[in-house]
Structure 1
Amino acid sequence: MLSLLLSAMLAMQAMAVMEVTVPEQPVVALHGRDALLNCSFSHANPINLSDLSIFWQLTDTKRSVHSFWGGQDQLVDQAESFANRTSVFHSQLGLGNASLLLSRVAVADEGSYTCFVRVQDYGSAALLLQVAAPYSKPVVTLTPESNLRPGDNVTLTCVAYGGYPQAGVIWQDGSGRNLTDNIATSPVANEEGLFTMTSTLTVVLEPNSTYSCRLINPLLGDEGYAFVTITGQNIGFPPVALWVTIGLAVCLLVLLIALAAVCRRKIKESCEEARREAEEAKELEEGESKTAMTPLKS
């Protein structure tokens, strides 16, 4: 029934054309929210709703989205995916407002919609509906996370969830240098069509380095930002340098012990020599005293 009515309307358009107006720019709707598809028409005479017919359909597949004629909604031919999600503004139809309210927008709703209007004249116009969903705040992780050494290759991973459409990813270092040429980005869609964006960057590790990941939604224009800073505390001692340091410490300790032993021996020898000299001096003094006390013979 609907297809016959639309065919008749299209055939009559060559004879009489009504001006139907829709937005020139795409309509951007948030996933899970309601979207208003504006459509208006002009008519010189007062409109009797029983004489008004409005048909919304998908432009490419011709599937019925919503129909109104005979003074009431006609939803028998409505595509199943739009059931209980569409409505027109009955109180404003006589004022030339044929807009469609689409509830709980899904990614699958994205596409071109055509608004057909007939009173006595006929007209139609098509608009583009685009769906957008903001991504979660991105998170940056390191692989490996420990035992890092300067000069190692480290993989940085940036992940954000639940967005649409695919986001652009920009990597930068601490000085603002763009590293995007060295990344690999993989979007994976869930059952709702929303994406998980995973981007990886491999760098040669340097101490005290900062790397940032910026996510850009092309429809919403919003940005998610995350960064990681690798400080000297995160970087382990290279094994070779560690063993060299331990060896030098052991050698220094042995040297100090040997030096202490030598010093002790030298001090001991010095003390003994001083004691011997003191004893010899004492003996010499006692000998001189005895000589002085012996009487002279006549």
Structure 2
Amino acid sequence: MTCGSNPPWKTMLSLLLPAMLSVQTMALMEVYVPEQPVVALHGRDATLNCSFSVPTPFNLSDLSVFWQLTDTKRSVHAYWKGQDQLADQAERFANRTSLFPAQLGLGNTSLLLSGVVVADEGSYTCFVRVQDYGSAALLLQVAAPYSKPIVTLEPEFNLRPGDEVALTCVAYGGYPQADVIWQDASGRNLTDNITSSFVANEEGLFTMTSVLTVVLEPNSTYSCRLINPLLGEEGYASVTITGQNITFPPVALWVTVGLAVCLLVLLIALAAVCRRKIKESCEEARREAEEAKELEEEESKTAMTLLKS
């Protein structure tokens, strides 16, 4: 191939497309692809279904099939003259695509894509030509399940009533970004209090980290629920914070403080009563002593008077 010349499939396609556009309303061929997106699991094989209908039997040598990326027009797979034509196939699809040869005569031009990766996500167009022309595009979406979520508590020790604690939920290796729902034991949604982040690795798969901040209460359960928009609910994990981790649970603290205040008041009142009683007893004893002394002095005076007389 000389420099600057178009690949054969591009030349054929450049002639094919104007003809397709001009006779689209007259074409007898219908090309069918799924209306809903095709969801493929990361690392697995996926079939991009495409079929066509023709009114009469045809020779495979007259069949031309082109699969290409809708947006960039890069070649994914090409077939004409009874065999695959892969010289101009995009490098990342090399050795990963195939048609179903035994099905071509039945109008099945589906493409098998092996080892699906995140980068394969996008729109694919299937062009078919026998005597007439037709094309249709489908959407491929890639999904990867996340690992089971793990919930951790920070800090784990020396917790006190009213402390703010951070609950962290982590899951790995998923795609696309998942929805994260935090709930308490009663099912109340706590999602407004969270911060979530998604970091992609070199394969495009995400590590999800979600942090929920709560004010510490005893015997509370918090759950992290992970929902993959393509695969549905994937994982669930929970953590329970019990009073064993808390020095003084809030309820017990107020009870203790109340009892201490009552005891202090009681002791003060008791001390005041005792002091008053002791003071009264001392005064009474002093009065009795004075009365006894006065009586003794009077008796002594009476005795002296009798002796003198």
| Fold in common (TM above 0.5) | yes
Mapped to 2, the partners of 1:47 and 1:141 lie a distance apart of 65
Q: Which residue in the other structure is 1:8 paired with?
A: 15
SS of equivalent residue, structure 1 residue 233: helix
For structure 2, the 5+ residue unaligned runs are 1-7, 261-309
Q: Which residue in the other structure is 2:194 paired with?
A: 183
Mapped to 1, the partners of 2:239 and 2:109 lie a distance apart of 52
Mapped to 2, the partners of 1:235 and 1:6 lie a distance apart of 73
- List aligned pairs for 1:42-81, cutoff 5 A: 42-81=53-92
Q: Which residue in the other structure is 1:227 paired with?
A: 238
- List aligned pairs for 1:130-169, cutoff 5 A: 130-169=141-180
Mapped to 1, the partners of 2:156 and 2:84 lie a distance apart of 61
Letter in 2 for 1:195: F
Deviations 1:169-221 (A, max 9, x none): 00011111110001000000000000011000110000101110000000011
SS of equivalent residue, structure 1 residue 222: strand
Mapped to 2, the partners of 1:84 and 1:198 lie a distance apart of 36
Deviations 1:1-34 (A, max 9, x none): 2211111111111235221000000000000000
- List aligned pairs for 1:170-209, cutoff 5 A: 170-209=181-220
Shift of 1:222: 2.5
Shift of 1:46: 1.4
Mapped to 1, the partners of 2:233 and 2:184 lie a distance apart of 21
For structure 1, the 5+ residue unaligned runs are 249-298
Letter in 1 for 2:12: L
The TM-score, its normalising length taken from structure 2, stands at 0.76
Q: Matched residues, percent identical?
A: 79
Q: Which residue in the other structure is 1:129 paired with?
A: 140
Mapped to 2, the partners of 1:222 and 1:170 lie a distance apart of 11
Letter in 2 for 1:10: L
Mapped to 2, the partners of 1:189 and 1:34 lie a distance apart of 22
Deviations 1:220-256 (A, max 9, x none): 1123100000001122349xx8xx99xx9xxxxxxxx
Task: State yes or no: 1:99 paired with 2:106.
Answer: no
Q: Which residue in the other structure is 1:82 paired with?
A: 93
SS of equivalent residue, structure 2 residue 232: coil
Mapped to 1, the partners of 2:233 and 2:133 lie a distance apart of 41
Mapped to 1, the partners of 2:98 and 2:234 lie a distance apart of 34
| 8 Å CA contact retained: 1:33, 1:104 | yes
SS of equivalent residue, structure 2 residue 105: helix
| 8 Å CA contact retained: 2:221, 2:239 | yes
Shift of 1:120: 1.0
Task: State yes or no: 1:118 paired with 2:129.
Answer: yes
Q: Which range moved further: 4-13 or 80-89?
A: 4-13
Mapped to 1, the partners of 2:131 and 2:189 lie a distance apart of 61
Q: Which residue in the other structure is 1:287 paired with?
A: none
Mapped to 2, the partners of 1:95 and 1:191 lie a distance apart of 41
Letter in 2 for 1:134: P
Q: Which residue in the other structure is 2:270 paired with?
A: none
Mapped to 2, the partners of 1:184 and 1:222 lie a distance apart of 20
Mapped to 2, the partners of 1:37 and 1:121 lie a distance apart of 22
| 8 Å CA contact retained: 1:146, 1:236 | no
Shift of 1:63: 0.4
| 8 Å CA contact retained: 2:44, 2:115 | yes
SS of equivalent residue, structure 1 residue 181: helix
SS of equivalent residue, structure 2 residue 87: coil
Letter in 2 for 1:2: W
Mapped to 2, the partners of 1:167 and 1:11 lie a distance apart of 42
Mapped to 2, the partners of 1:223 and 1:85 lie a distance apart of 29
